Chains A and B, each alone.
Chain A
Amino acid sequence: MKILVYAEQQDGHLKKSAVEAVSFARQSFESRGDLNITVLLGGQVDTQAAAELGLYGANSVWMPAESILNSFEVHLHALAIQQALAESGAEVLVMAHTYCGKSLVPRLSVAWDAVLAAGVNSPPECASDGSWKVYRTVYSNKGIASYSVSGVRRILSFLPNALKPVECSSPCTVFPWNTTVNSAAAKTRSLELQKVQGKIPLTEAERVISGGRGLKGPEHWHLIEDLAEVCDAATACSKPVSDMHWRSHDEHVGQTGITIKPDLYMAVGISGAIQHLAGVSSSKTIVAINTDREAPFFKVADYGVVGDAFEVLPQLTQAIRRLRKG
């Protein structure tokens, strides 16, 4: 069974999702004795880092010989992936369902005429007839649907943080790869990039500290940021908080914001409205901090503190500092 994994990079560094994608492919189809995983890098990275994808199960890595893919232009990347699919003879394409993945997989499913299982939660269950059963959340995390997937060509994209990468082998060979894709095929022209500097991207974060209207105003957000810093967490917020411009829109989680599934989600001064929960309820562990014992968030939280955020947050931050030191 031949698999092509598309591994994302940014500014010459492999993204966290690159390792996840290789490991997802390996863990999903491990039982197939003839499994062969080729990785196409979405741009040039350090050769050593590329070879280490072998640790997670890649058999070989193709590194573009030209710089044309180094910045992300969806149409160029889609063409490059199609070329690599043809050259590798892969039947299955695996990638992460990140913003890049979300732009690529729908185009590729039509262009490559493949059945698309997009945004799955966990590795597919493989049946003896070759079909897969996959699970994905629907109705904004309020439901889970299982689908049967069959077809000669298939694309599988998984949610970031869907599984923990596991080391299983040794570094592999990195081959230079010549693409036939020409920059004239680009259909958009980048004018400006604004990168969130030094912050952990919310969708990739393993821990997230989120604040709501209970924090009373943007001037109090240092309490959230301090806590986030001691636990290497990203920061998020509820919709009214971003609507009132206390925090920027890219931090808004929920049904009409970003959907996340970190290991730890801490909700501070957030009531737990159904639209908010829709974006965060598949987090592994949920902590709620709220003055109101009856706040709906406590119905879904694993751990709760009934108390004033202004009192709880500094103490919690101190307690985590003690743990980290000890």
Chain B
Amino acid sequence: MDTLVRAFSAPAFRELGYWLFRYRRTWRGSIVISVVNPLLFLAALGLGLGTLVDRDGGAYLRGDSYLEFLLPGLLVAAVMQTTFLEAAGPVMQGVLARGNYRAAASTPLSPADILHGHLMYWTLRAVMNATLFTLVSMLFGAVEASRIPLLVPVAVLVAVAFATPAAAWSVTMTRPSQINSMFRFAILPLYMFSGTFFPIEQLPSWLWPVAWATPLWHGVDLGRTVALGTATPLGTLAHLGYLVAMAVAGLLLARRNYRRRLHV
């Protein structure tokens, strides 16, 4: 507890301040993206594909519309992707020559302060993204207003669970192409097979354990059960446990890697 308090004390907030200062320059564009992104997805998948699905897929959806089924997964996956991109690239740049991390490391901040400050920034951005996403979805009728206070924290938890391992990994990277490969060969496949667009029960049964093992599936399923009111205590606990464990493991690994890379 003591270390937790110290971890998020003043020095880390200075690093948060740095990222917020930089955000001042890009906030308009980022808000447009946060609003347009769900609009496009909901229009194309929800309205277009959704009408098709709703016509014959009633059994799987248990009475909910495809749009309602889709929304929680879309939200969780979109927030996760944005967080990955905001964590991976800037972390790698930060640690290279002329990067922010190098400069910050010569001030009273410790490598852990730098990590914690940046993590606060990703968390804040995830809250913004998730909130905007759900508000837009509400206008589409894709989610009930009463579910938003539960859905947003789920999306933010998933974002943090991805942010810490992404930071731990990126801080050891030296080329942007490595980040791109990670996105293409790990993040996108996760997105496709995590049950975002269809229930994983649609896949051959031998593939289910693969889906259960992936973190995004836990996030998507947690979001969906919360949004549709089908959550079970055991399932929820398993999802939460998985995501929290991932966030903590990532944090510990990132702290070690930050120290090794910034204090050589």
Partners in one complex: no
